[in-house]
Amino acid sequence: MSWRQRGRIQLQQLATEQPNLASSALDRMSSLGIARVINSEDAKVAKAVARVLPSIAQAIDWIAEAFRLGGRLIYVGTGTSGRIAALDAAECPPTFNTKPRMVQFIIAGGRRALGAAVESNEDSRQAGQREMARKAPAAKDVVVGLAASGRTPFTVAALAYARQRGARTVALTCNRNSPLERAADLAIVTDVGPEVIAGSTRLKAGTAQKMVLNMLSTGALTRLGYVHGNLMVNVRPKNSKLRERGVGIIQRLTGVSRRKAEKTLLEAGSTALALVMLQAGVDLATAQRALTAAGQRVGGAVKIAAQDQDRSI
């Protein structure tokens, strides 16, 4: 039996490739019927993610530790998985004001694959290893490989290379006992079952991947103080919406007037700095030093700044 034949048999055995009885008559359903069956199947995704929360928590701890050490979170995937990874990486800087190097992504086919299908690249183990080598993964990094099937050669090879180089590795897949799971230090297996359209893993599998990546990046950056309470205190006022959000956060946490919040935000250029200035009653330079000393944690920076203020009195 050739490797292509073995591959076809293995693919046919995957849970995500099986026909879904609930949608077997999808082509004969009304628009409302189609929406109902997809919605019903989507309701199963959150339950599948809930079953692997301990593994997700372990990954969050690893990523937070990597960030503390100056390391990176590197996602790698192909097709839908790669695009979901790119989305999460791209949204971290505007949400948390992280540096772009902190959360990165690799997608088979490069950036052109973000807007066009280039699936042939998925089969190349050499390409996966080569692209990961360009990132020079090290012990202080965490690499997350995404593949619904768990068998994509590009992603398996990339993850295996990162692990060989000492990085902590996480497999995110929707099928158990896969090559990707075996290549990783930790596996997060969201068993979402058959898709509404058999094998179309842009559906439930893609939704599960998005949910998990939301938890990984948000959880790790929250642990590091990029969130205060449940507010985006590190948001940068780069447009009118973000300025308005920053003013609202400042008013909510300090109780100052809108005029005072706007004035302080304009002076500080940062919602976090404005909060430290107002809550500790210090100038911009003192707030900047305190925020750096506190590792960008607003709560810790306020305490440091207030102590410095007391010593100077």
* Domain spans of the chain, in order of start: 3-223, 240-312
Collapsing DSSP to helix, strand or coil, 142 comes out as strand
Residue 250: pLDDT over 70: yes
Looking at residue 175, its pLDDT comes to 93
Interval 63-88: pLDDT, tens: 999 999 999 999 999 999 999 999 99
Catalytic, out of 17, 41, 122, 131: 122
For 1-22, write each residue's pLDDT tens digit: 343 444 454 666 787 788 788 8
pLDDT reported for residue 1: 36
Average pLDDT for 22-41: 94
Q: DSSP letter for 36, please.
A: H
DSSP 123: G
Residue range 165-170: mean pLDDT, rounded: 98
pLDDT score of 260 more than 90: yes
Whole-prediction pTM value?
0.88
CATH number among 3.30.365.10, 3.40.50.1700, 3.40.50.10490, 3.30.70.890, domain 3-223: 3.40.50.10490
In the residue annotation, 122 being an active-site residue is answered as yes
How high is the pLDDT of residue 2?
40
Model confidence band, residue 312 (pLDDT cutoffs 50, 70, 90): low
| CA-closest candidate to residue 280, choices 258, 257, 311, 249 | 311
Q: How many residues does the chain have?
A: 313
pLDDT at 156: 97
pLDDT of amino acid 294: 87
- Check if the beta carbon of residue 109 is closer than 8 Å to that of residue 128: no
> Residues of the chain with pLDDT > 70: what percent?
94
Q: State residue 4's pLDDT score.
A: 46
Rounded to whole angstroms, the Cα distance separating 129 from 137 reads: 11
* 124-141 confidence digits (pLDDT tens): 999 999 999 999 999 999
Which residues make beta-bridge pairs with 142? 73, 168
Sign of CA dihedral 34, 117, 102, 305: negative
First to last CA, the chain: 82
pLDDT at 116 over 50: yes
What distances in angstroms separate CA 118 from CA 25, 51, 149, 265, 282, one per listed residue?
Answer: 31, 33, 17, 45, 54
For residue 163, CA distances in Å to 23, 160, 255 come to 40, 5, 49
Check 17, 41, 65, 91 and give the catalytic one.
Answer: 91
Confidence class for position 186, pLDDT limits 50, 70, 90: very high
Q: In the prediction, which pLDDT does 21 show?
A: 81
Task: Annotate 79-139 with three-state secondary structure.
Answer: HHHHHHHHHHHHHHHHHHCCCCCCEEEEECCCHHHHCCCCHHHHHCHHHHHHHHHHHCCCC
* CATH code, 240-312: 1.10.8.1080
Lowest mean pLDDT among 20-24, 44-48, 137-141, 309-313: 309-313
Please say if 181 is a catalytic residue: no
User: What is the C-alpha to C-alpha distance for residues 85 and 208, in angstroms, rounded to an integer?
Assistant: 12
Q: 238 pLDDT band (50/70/90 cuts)? A: confident
Mean pLDDT for the chain overall? 91
